[in-house]
Structure 1
Amino acid sequence: MCGIVGIFDTRGERAIDREVLRRMNESQHHRGPDEGDLYLEHGLGFGHRRLSVIDIATGQQPLFNADNTVGVVFNGEIYNYLELMDELGKLGHVFRTRSDTEVIVYAWQQWGEDCVHHFRGMFAFALWDRNKKTMFLGRDHVGVKPMFYSLLPDGHFVFGSELKSLMTFPALSRKLNPSAVEDYFAYGYIPEPKTIFHQAFKLSPGHTITLKVGDTSVHQKRFWDIPFQPVAAISEQDVERELVERLRESVKSQLKSEVPLGAFLSGGVDSSAVVAMMAEQDHEAVNTCSIAFNDPQYDESAFANQVAQRYKTTHYSETVDKDDYGLIDTLASLYDEPYADSSAIPTYRVCQLARKRVTVALSGDGGDENFAGYRRYRYAMGEQRVRSLLPMGLRKPVFGTLGKIYPKADWAPQMFRAKTTFEALSRDLVDGYFHGVSIMPDRVRKELFSAKFQTELQGYRAIQVMHDHAANSPTDDPLSMIQYLDFKTYLPGDILTKVDRASMAHSLEVRVPLLDHKFVEWVSGLPPSMKLKGSEGKYIFKKSLQPYLSDDILYRAKKGFSIPLADWFRGPLRAKVRESVLSPLLLDTGIFNENYLRHMVEQHESGLKDYSASLWSVLMFETFLRVSVGREYH
């Protein structure tokens, strides 16, 4: 696991500034504290920071082939590298190391751009072929590992594992992308391929980029997508059996390591399933890590302890204060762009704990997206059933009018909070789902933004992100469609981003067996009714795991890493929120309507409305400007 950077002159005319490359590389020192190196030749510079996990003795990067014509810098793990070494060896390629990095070099020589079809793992890499004068970049199937890039007007192409590495490049503009700002305040993160800066981008999951000397353009291609291809009809019992076999195999494939390895254990279904499969295959006790909270309302450590005892793991747990709000500035420095998932705080703490014991940790991320575990799937399907009873011509005027006149009752019991439901029912599936997941609905963002900024948006709305993905969806089944949308937006943009930055801040490698692309492909083809059955999400997953986990683990209500934002903003963070949300730095951007910002602060402080999610997103935006950008955003 590593951090990579690079500078490529697409014109092939200029030498690379070693000091600039060094600063880019050192900005990511935390991703690879074990070793670091630079490589320069005319028109090309590679940088690499290494966290040694596999082939510690000889896996240094950049790594070249035997005649030094093909070299690569690589972040991630190729889990099937031993099988590929054997296959490529039979084709005549001679390996000098036992590193998965070297597999990429010879896979390129053998298969060219099709090499990514042979990789099973999590990866972001950049490869230089001197003979072909070609730069080739790839990012793994679901986006576990990040890749940022920019093609600048002067023809320089720069890339890195984190946006901060690009921000050290002198020619990169700090000008904000207005549509990314709109996306952020809708989703709470900035979905691929945008970043907050108009000149910088994320390489989308399952995509490659090819560049050639003399061609000042980026040729991007998708090499994989979630198929949602129905599996052959088999009984529920057969599905349960095959599911466990496939999960066991995915976990096994990710246990290779020359350094201490363990797992996160929250006590939820997904992490507990991974631990159960690890315990079956490991002769030694599995190392497990979890955090407890000092408030019973947020604490789930008893369930983690139950799983740890059942599988006799070596379990490490630390108790943290639920009022752990001292990380706000730290988070901004980790994410490099606005990021509003407050569960980043406990995620940071559990990674901090895990790194004290292990260098590699397996996680349960991906279970909810694979098996429809989020409550919002249940709500969305309920709304879809109502939509199917009435034509759009009737739904839109009836529910649209009810949505406008019904009061927003955040204080009321769930059954009386009908405004959002009415608004969703007046829309189609995709619009309704977007409305349900938005941290700030359209009507709130319209109030939040200044008239000047709304003009800059030129009619752009964040829903376009989902419409673009829906247009490319391989499925029209309603449940599968919204799962597909989450795989394209929420999973890489929020969940995997959160875990990558939090783990790499502590030089911890995190692997995600539930997101092995072969496992994802098979699960996507299961009947939707096996994923969400009535009101039971993860139906077939839970049934499959009944021999391995108790009903207390499988069927209790999901909590997740909850943060008491509403209480913080009326209590210990009251002054900070007011200071940040109404700060000159924020108001000087010209993005916001000062009156509405003041309205949110005052209404929340008084207890009349709960604006905690909206205020947190504004707070994190201000923190991003202050910590990462300063006043250089114009």
Structure 2
Amino acid sequence: MCAVFGILGEYNEYMAKKALALLAHRGPDFCGIVQKKDLFFAHQRLSIIDMHSRSNQPLFHEKTLLSFNGEIYNFKELKDELKDEFNFKTQSDGEVIIAAYLKWGVDFVNHLRGMFAIALLDNETLYLFRDRLGKKPLFYLHNKAFIFASEIKALIPFLQKVEMDEDALLSYLSFLAPTPPFTFFKDIKKLAAGEYLTFKNNHIEVKRYFDLLDSTPNLITDKDEAVYILENLLDESIKIRLNADVPTASLLSGGIDSATLNAYALKNGINLQTYTLGYKEYAKYDERKNAKESAKLLGVENKEISISQNDFLDASDRVLQTLDEPLNDPAAVPLYLLFENIKKDGIKVVLSGEGSDELFLGYRQYFEFLDIQSFSKLKNKNWLKRYFHSNFSINREWEYYKRIFDDTLLFRTSGENFTDLQKNLLLKRNIKDNHSLHYLKSYRERFENSLHTDESIWYSYIDLNLFQAEHFLTKLDRVSMAHSIESRTPFLDHKLASAIFSIDPKLRYKDGVTKSLLKSIVAPHISEKIILRRKKGFSNPYMEYLVQSKRISLIKEVNQKSALFKKEALDAYIQKTSSGGFKQHIWGLYVLSVWLKRQFF
């Protein structure tokens, strides 16, 4: 786990090294630079596999140069396959990438199993790859030179002028995070999950090399067969992610996902130290009690970390600075504090349960959307259509039924926040209904052109690409790497995910039980008490903290200067927080206000 950074074209050496230093937290163990005329190619290393200096990057072989962030979990198998064609000198996965590229060209990426952001320079052609499910970030900027980096902060110094990207703002309000390729900094772009970029002769070309929808649907229709296949893949996915030459731990909530990771680690002979977060003033939000019981049932050691309102508020500015741009996830702050404490114990790798809900249908709302979707089959909808158009409500449920009777796309990610009509009421500009579909268009077109027809597959597909990759995984990557900790997410293994997309979709939801398949898989390994617990999620008292500290007033303060929002509509949203409504809407506006004030006011 590391940071990649590079410049192709004219550059200032002092400025380049200063920008690279901004990424030191991602790789404090070694800084490597290859430097010559019109080329600055660098790497910040966090040593996880093969601690020896021989594995320091950038790695080079003849005319091939590599800077790579991530882990290739099948590198030993690949190395064995390639050993007769390449003279290996290290025990690292990075060297295997070079060998694989020399054999298979850009198709080498299809042989990798893991998480990665890869920068590979072959003579004068640069390739950038982001992993299949978007675990590792990769940003780029093209003005006088082409510049790439693992985080936005290293690219900002090269902007000729800092301007806010309008598409980033609108997609952020809709979906909690800017959708690819947009970032809040105009001209700085990001690769989407499963994409690669080629830069040659001053020209950029972006292509997709992986798509979950390429999985053949309905290959598996028997539940017992599905459980057998998925259990083996899940076991394998967790096992390969336990390989590290440094201390490894796991997060533990009271839920099934983290319990699964620890149960399978134990099955593979590894007892991981686990960590749970709690809140001093608001214990009702945390899962310390359930996690303590889970730890006892599993037979693992659990360490509780509790934070106060002051801890949260003191850290919030640091966290929002770490994120570089607005990200609407209040859990980023407590998670940052949790990793801060984990680092004190010398841990460098942490397993986390992201992706399980999206793959195994763990959100109750998936089932609600499937129910609402059934109304689309009504033959006589005109009266209902007219009724919903003439009886406006700001509530989402109204919006969902309106969409069905309008014959437009119902599900637009689990992270949908402001609807288009809500944005139109709030913003001092006209936002047309269904404008947000612009940011989902390429994903929806791929779905409609695929062999998949069940809408539940669409739910998982768009959530994995946006709700996970651009929201949850962005948060996880930044707050863990801020403390030089590598986070691993075994549920987000591309082989496991592809297998799930190949089973009969009804096997995931026909019994009306969330995570039905996962519960069947783990039943032999986890106590029924854990399996039957009601899902709680990583909730926290962020709105109580925001209101009590009066920091919520920043939203109005910044709006007086930015003039983005209508005062009356903004006041109405803020007022609703007193009754517990629209909490994530308000947090998103607060995070945006912090960023706007820092950048422009």
- Residues 532-561 of structure 1: per-residue CA shift (max 9 Å, x gap): 234312111111111111222222221111
Deviation of residue 512 (structure 1)? Answer: 1.0
Matched, 1:587 2:582: no
In 1, Cα distance between the equivalents of 2:434 and 2:223? Answer: 45
Alignment of 1:344-383 (within 5 A): 344-357=332-345, 358-383=347-372
Deviation of residue 318 (structure 1)? Answer: 1.6
**AA partner of residue 388 (structure 1):** K
In 1, Cα distance between the equivalents of 2:390 and 2:529? Answer: 43
**AA partner of residue 92 (structure 2):** S
Alignment of 1:513-532 (within 5 A): 513-532=490-509
**CA distance 1:122–1:392, shift in 2 (3 Å):** farther
CA contact (8 A) 2:297 2:527 kept: no
- Residues 222-267 of structure 1: per-residue CA shift (max 9 Å, x gap): 1100034225345322322222211111111112211111211112
**AA partner of residue 64 (structure 2):** V
In 1, Cα distance between the equivalents of 2:486 and 2:149? Answer: 17
Name 1:610's counterpart in structure 2: 581
In 2, Cα distance between the equivalents of 1:21 and 1:393? Answer: 61
Name 1:467's counterpart in structure 2: 441
In 2, Cα distance between the equivalents of 1:248 and 1:608? Answer: 44
Name 1:47's counterpart in structure 2: 42
Matched, 1:83 2:82: no
Name 2:138's counterpart in structure 1: 147
Q: Which moved more, 1:435-444 or 1:54-63?
A: 435-444
Cα-Cα RMSD: 2.3
**For 1:100, which of 88, 93, 103 is the aligned residue?**
93
**CA distance 1:101–1:285, shift in 2 (3 Å):** same
Q: Which moved more, 1:195-204 or 1:589-598?
A: 589-598
Q: Secondary structure at the match of 2:120?
A: strand
**For 2:255, which of 263, 268, 273 is the aligned residue?**
268
In 1, Cα distance between the equivalents of 2:153 and 2:365? Answer: 33
Deviation of residue 436 (structure 1)? Answer: 7.1
- Residues 454-479 of structure 1: per-residue CA shift (max 9 Å, x gap): 4xx79992221123311111322111
In 2, Cα distance between the equivalents of 1:520 and 1:129? Answer: 32
Deviation of residue 608 (structure 1)? Answer: 6.3
- Residues 162-217 of structure 1: per-residue CA shift (max 9 Å, x gap): 11111122x443111112111111112112221112201111111111112xx222
- Residues 315-348 of structure 1: per-residue CA shift (max 9 Å, x gap): 2222223673333212221111111111112222
Report the count of equivalent residues: 593
In 1, Cα distance between the equivalents of 2:289 and 2:162? Answer: 47
Matched, 1:501 2:478: yes
Name 1:23's counterpart in structure 2: 18
| TM-score, with structure 1 as normaliser | 0.89
**For 2:571, which of 598, 604, 608 is the aligned residue?**
598
Name 1:7's counterpart in structure 2: 7
Unpaired stretches in structure 2, ≥5 consecutive residues: none
Name 1:411's counterpart in structure 2: none
Q: Secondary structure at the match of 2:56?
A: coil
**For 1:111, which of 104, 117, 138 is the aligned residue?**
104
In 2, Cα distance between the equivalents of 1:622 and 1:407? Answer: 23
**For 1:71, which of 65, 77, 83 is the aligned residue?**
65
Matched, 1:249 2:236: yes
- Residues 57-76 of structure 1: per-residue CA shift (max 9 Å, x gap): 121011111x3x21111100
In 1, Cα distance between the equivalents of 2:489 and 2:373? Answer: 31
- Residues 269-309 of structure 1: per-residue CA shift (max 9 Å, x gap): 11111111111112x53222221333342121233223322
Name 2:266's counterpart in structure 1: 279
Alignment of 1:322-333 (within 5 A): 324-333=312-321
**CA distance 1:303–1:616, shift in 2 (3 Å):** same
**CA distance 1:86–1:231, shift in 2 (3 Å):** farther
Q: Secondary structure at the match of 2:412?
A: helix
CA contact (8 A) 2:339 2:479 kept: yes
Alignment of 1:94-243 (within 5 A): 94-130=87-123, 133-152=124-143, 154=144, 156-169=145-158, 171-212=159-200, 215-227=201-213, 228-233=215-220, 235-243=222-230
In 2, Cα distance between the equivalents of 1:267 and 1:608? Answer: 28
Q: Which moved more, 1:549-558 or 1:258-267?
A: 549-558
In 1, Cα distance between the equivalents of 2:580 and 2:115? Answer: 43
Name 1:319's counterpart in structure 2: 306
**AA partner of residue 398 (structure 1):** Y
Matched, 1:539 2:527: no
**AA partner of residue 591 (structure 1):** L
**CA distance 1:292–1:239, shift in 2 (3 Å):** same
In 2, Cα distance between the equivalents of 1:94 and 1:435? Answer: 47
In 1, Cα distance between the equivalents of 2:32 and 2:202? Answer: 27
In 2, Cα distance between the equivalents of 1:421 and 1:491? Answer: 22
Name 2:398's counterpart in structure 1: 419
Off by >6 Å, runs of 4+ in structure 1:
457-460
In 1, Cα distance between the equivalents of 2:441 and 2:155? Answer: 29
**CA distance 1:31–1:392, shift in 2 (3 Å):** farther
Q: Which moved more, 1:338-347 or 1:559-568?
A: 559-568
**CA distance 1:196–1:464, shift in 2 (3 Å):** same
Deviation of residue 360 (structure 1)? Answer: 0.5
CA contact (8 A) 2:220 2:502 kept: no
In 1, Cα distance between the equivalents of 2:292 and 2:462? Answer: 34
Deviation of residue 311 (structure 1)? Answer: 3.2
Deviation of residue 6 (structure 1)? Answer: 0.7
**AA partner of residue 286 (structure 1):** L
Deviation of residue 505 (structure 1)? Answer: 0.9
**AA partner of residue 626 (structure 1):** K
**AA partner of residue 622 (structure 1):** S
Deviation of residue 435 (structure 1)? Answer: 8.6
In 1, Cα distance between the equivalents of 2:357 and 2:3? Answer: 28
